[in-house]
Structure 1
Amino acid sequence: MDQVTQQDTGTDAAFLQDIWTGIGGDRAHLAKVRFIGHGGLKSVFGTTPLAAGSVAATGLAAAELVAARTGAMPEVVVDRRHASFWFGWSLHPQGWPLPASWDAVAGDYATRDGWIKLHTNAPHHRAAALAVLGAPAEKAAVARAVATWSADELEAAIVAAGGCAAAMRPMAAWAAHPQGRAVAQEPMLWVEPTGPAPRRDWPFDPARPLSGLRVLDLTRVLAGPVATRFLALLGAEVLRIDPPDWEEPGVIPEVTLGKRCARLDLRKPEDKERLAGLFRDADVFLNGYRPDALERLGFGTQARHALRPGLVDVRLDAYGWTGPWSGRRGFDSLVQMSSGIAEEGMRRTGADKPTPLPVQALDHATGYILAAAALRGLTRRFTEGSGSASRTSLARTAALLVSRPGTPEVPMAPAGEADFSEGIETTSWGPARRVRPPLTIAGLDIGTGIAAGSLGTSEPAWAHRG
């Protein structure tokens, strides 16, 4: 169905305007976007409008790049229904189960004065939380131990031990918190020029605008992989690099579409040199590591841009780039707890426990903002001959979401045959159907011939050198 209410269109367009102008886009280009689709995700916040608006901003950035190369800006049409699906799961297995998304210990726990979320999907994060609690890896034992702590004290202790946790705060408490105040002052996207780009042009195919460009992906769950997946759908060669022992089985089938995935151990000099070689031939770099991680390895911002002048460099973190928590580990579900989203959901629905968004919308929306930043960086490289460094955060996207009131949505019907792309995607886990891309851009072929695959299945080398 292509019905969409005037109220839906207004909210979708409002989020698009916030994002597009927030990343430096020309307001006049907003007229090139049209929204279709009926129904949305059930949420006390504007989750589907955020999905539609962020996808639209990325499509507009792609259209802007096409216009810079061809002189004509194509129309962007966003299907808000499909955008909602892509904010959850676009992949539908045919006869095999999706991997579990959460570790057995992860979840929300009652403290003596509130609630806390423990994020324990990574083994070292799980070990840190259990060490602080003095509990075995058994849910009931963890619950008993958590109940003896105050939420703020346990959060601080787990974070200090190298783990990931977030106490549930009301929105007003986050607004008054030093980190909440810092994020409220940050722009949607920080952008800085980094110097001349010796290679500013590339052979351009209007139907596949990123064909021939190389994207180096050092991102993990979930925003960064969403961004690089979209760049792959526009024709980019995306090479994802992970450490030898890293896995994230709950999301890999969803986000490795269009990518080749390799491993490097950056503790080894020879692997650091291989990464340096990848930088020398990269056009775009996306980095989801903590702010100082690559600096410690010798691949800080100055080093990266010395290896590849003109690099389009895009970074994200969880809690923002200023304020006392600027280097804190975090994930979408934790930011929802910290920023008041989970508490607001609980209060407004009358639930007896934290009530987050129906999907990890902060991750997905931030992913599309990152992709838009990369596309605008490529446009800038072509038109101005300059590289760039951009960055944003999940917490900034949370601030965007709560800035506009949610409106009731007509419930979406489940995905049906008309929602799926033609053909079967032969993934590493078995055959699957994929929901159609959430947008169309006139004249562009959005898709990829590379099915989702396991981590570490490719060599850490570019398939096509420029």
Structure 2
Amino acid sequence: MDHQLATSLWQQMWQGLRGNSAPQPLPTFVDTATFSSAFAVSELAATSIGLATQATASLIASSEPVEVNVRLASRWFQHSFMTLNRPAPQLWDAFAGDYASADGWIRLHTNAAHHRQAMESVLGQHHHRDALAQEVSRWRASELEQAIVDAGGCAAEMRSAAAWQQHPQGQAVSLEPLIDWQITPSGPKPAWLLPQARPLLGVNVLDLTRIIAGPVATRFLASLGAHVLRIDPPGWQEPGLDEEISCGKRRAVLDLTHTDDREQLIRLLRQADVLVHGYRADALDRLGLDAETRQKIAPGLVDVSLNAWGWQGPWRNRRGFDSLVQMGCGIAEQGMHWQQHDKPTPLPVQALDHATGYLMAAAVLTGLQQRVENGNGSQARLSLARTAQLLQQHRYAPGSTQTGITAEVKDNLPMLELTPWGLGIRLRAAAYLPGTPFLCATPGCLPGTDPASW
């Protein structure tokens, strides 16, 4: 582990979370094995989990030192839940991945059925990847990217870091803070007790997030005892992530295009202490739930939001995922040169998603502390692209080597977990705060398992 890189990451994250206040001491790092990467991925994992843990300590006024197991933190960025006596669910659609175009590389993201249909509306239906690859090879990458995006799909051309810095969206992201904070009007005095063992007991968290980053944030909050209610749209499925991400939460289904369901969401919001959402930038505004309206509905609300490509610039409402941001901002191209490969080389894990998730959790906890101390509500905005910029500033020197991490269960003293799908094991928490265990009380569940009520 490179402590200089970890220290720099910690300082920048703390500044994003608390402004110019003096940062808390760096967590104590143990078992400092790291992923092999051009970038400080394991350092990012350890410091982001450490930041959320330190924010927990600050909320409950604990002076106990924070400890982070770097190997475990890295593994949590990989996956924390592993199935037993049954195959693990597939994480990727058969046609998702990187393809050579006429002038470079492009990544297609087709995990969601409607995203695959959008891709097929441009490239046609194919029975196997080789046939699709032949069709992709006839296109210029930038033209295919735009055509798929225009069709409502998800794709990203592989750009160099220099090209991204010159791109209008890259320029917009470079001007954004890591966490964009706004103080909002105060609300009634909260009734939270903030017990050390379960600090968020009695805190209602309304979760409007999907896939990885937002659900990582709300999973961390659930592990502290928060009452997390996740709302999914009808028909939404993410079978590769249900057991991994939804533990500790209740899950309901609402169709926000229907008036009755939208009114039910407003009733839920009225009783929420925290709102975490990952819709595209203007999505809630179009439903009549802009930031000002949300605060009027729930005065003092801690409102934390995420998008993929940043909050300003021409792509602020573009669909995006971790793997696409890595392609678009230069990470995959830089990794290719570092590894001396001839194809895109992304990070060893979806580190942008996971790190942003823990930064979001830290923002929620800091917002709750502000609410307790002065009654103010708060709004915080983060993006995968801005987290990518942070990571790109923290690279290993050419020729440096890292330990390399393997998925050896015996190293991590995992816990058995029985889910609706069967038996599995969950890694123990990567962070240690004396007196405050990080433990979800319930296993993962399917959308619609619970009613849309507190």
Tell me the TM-score range normalised by the shorter chain: over 0.9
For the pair 1:449 / 2:441, whether they are aligned, the reply is yes
For the pair 1:63 / 2:62, whether they are aligned, the reply is no
Write the distance in 1 (CA, Å) between the matches of 2:166 and 2:184: 35
Q: How many pairs does the alignment contain?
A: 451
Counterpart mapping for 1:117-266 below 5 A: 117-136=107-126, 138-266=128-256
For the pair 1:309 / 2:303, whether they are aligned, the reply is no
Deviation of residue 204 (structure 1)? 2.5
Task: Between 331-340 and 39-48, report the one with greater CA deviation.
Answer: 39-48
Q: Report the equivalent of 1:45.
A: 39
What is the one-letter code of the residue matched to 1:420? L
TM-score, scaled to structure 2: 0.96
Write the distance in 2 (CA, Å) between the matches of 1:127 and 1:32: 47
Write the distance in 1 (CA, Å) between the matches of 2:53 and 2:408: 23
Task: Between 86-95 and 300-309, report the one with greater CA deviation.
Answer: 300-309
Write the distance in 2 (CA, Å) between the matches of 1:89 and 1:324: 33
Write the distance in 1 (CA, Å) between the matches of 2:215 and 2:157: 26
Q: Report the equivalent of 1:439.
A: 431
Q: Equivalent of 2:421, from 406, 411, 429?
A: 429
Deviation per residue, 1:116-136 (Å, 9 max, x gap): 000011111111111112343
Deviation of residue 137 (structure 1)? 5.6
Q: Report the equivalent of 2:10.
A: 16
Unpaired runs of 5+ in structure 1?
Answer: 1-6
Instruction: Judge conservation of contact 1:78–1:438 (CA < 8 Å) in 2.
Output: yes
Deviation of residue 25 (structure 1)? 5.5
Q: Equivalent of 1:412, from 397, 401, 405?
A: 405
Write the distance in 2 (CA, Å) between the matches of 1:204 and 1:402: 37
Deviation of residue 13 (structure 1)? 2.6
Instruction: Judge conservation of contact 1:130–1:137 (CA < 8 Å) in 2.
Output: no
For the pair 1:373 / 2:363, whether they are aligned, the reply is yes
- Note closer, same or farther for the CA distance 1:97–1:25 as it changes in structure 2 (3 Å cut): farther
Write the distance in 2 (CA, Å) between the matches of 1:413 and 1:333: 21
Deviation of residue 433 (structure 1)? 1.0
Deviation of residue 268 (structure 1)? 2.2
For the pair 1:362 / 2:352, whether they are aligned, the reply is yes
Q: Equivalent of 1:96, from 86, 101, 116?
A: 86
Write the distance in 1 (CA, Å) between the matches of 2:20 and 2:410: 37
Deviation per residue, 1:230-249 (Å, 9 max, x gap): 00011101111101110111
Deviation of residue 225 (structure 1)? 0.3
Identity rate, percent:
49
Deviation of residue 421 (structure 1)? 3.7
Q: Report the equivalent of 2:268.
A: 278
Write the distance in 2 (CA, Å) between the matches of 1:436 and 1:316: 27
Instruction: Judge conservation of contact 2:60–2:194 (CA < 8 Å) in 1.
Output: no
Write the distance in 2 (CA, Å) between the matches of 1:452 and 1:415: 23
Write the distance in 2 (CA, Å) between the matches of 1:153 and 1:22: 36
Write the distance in 2 (CA, Å) between the matches of 1:258 and 1:137: 39
Task: Between 166-175 and 26-35, report the one with greater CA deviation.
Answer: 26-35
- Note closer, same or farther for the CA distance 1:307–1:47 as it changes in structure 2 (3 Å cut): same
Unpaired runs of 5+ in structure 2?
Answer: none
Deviation of residue 26 (structure 1)? 6.5
Instruction: Judge conservation of contact 1:197–1:385 (CA < 8 Å) in 2.
Output: yes
Instruction: Judge conservation of contact 1:178–1:324 (CA < 8 Å) in 2.
Output: yes
Instruction: Judge conservation of contact 1:227–1:371 (CA < 8 Å) in 2.
Output: yes
For the pair 1:461 / 2:429, whether they are aligned, the reply is no
What is the one-letter code of the residue matched to 1:61? A
Deviation per residue, 1:139-179 (Å, 9 max, x gap): 22221211111000111111111110000011111111111
Deviation of residue 40 (structure 1)? 1.2
Instruction: Judge conservation of contact 2:192–2:200 (CA < 8 Å) in 1.
Output: no
For the pair 1:116 / 2:111, whether they are aligned, the reply is no
Task: Between 76-85 and 31-40, report the one with greater CA deviation.
Answer: 31-40
Instruction: Judge conservation of contact 1:14–1:53 (CA < 8 Å) in 2.
Output: no
Q: Report the equivalent of 1:383.
A: 373
SS of the residue corresponding to residue 293 of structure 2 reads helix
Instruction: Judge conservation of contact 1:135–1:145 (CA < 8 Å) in 2.
Output: no
Instruction: Judge conservation of contact 2:223–2:441 (CA < 8 Å) in 1.
Output: no
Write the distance in 2 (CA, Å) between the matches of 1:408 and 1:10: 15
Instruction: Judge conservation of contact 2:302–2:367 (CA < 8 Å) in 1.
Output: yes
Deviation of residue 219 (structure 1)? 0.3
Deviation of residue 27 (structure 1)? 5.1
Instruction: Judge conservation of contact 1:420–1:433 (CA < 8 Å) in 2.
Output: no
What is the one-letter code of the residue matched to 2:404? P
Task: Between 291-300 and 368-377, report the one with greater CA deviation.
Answer: 291-300
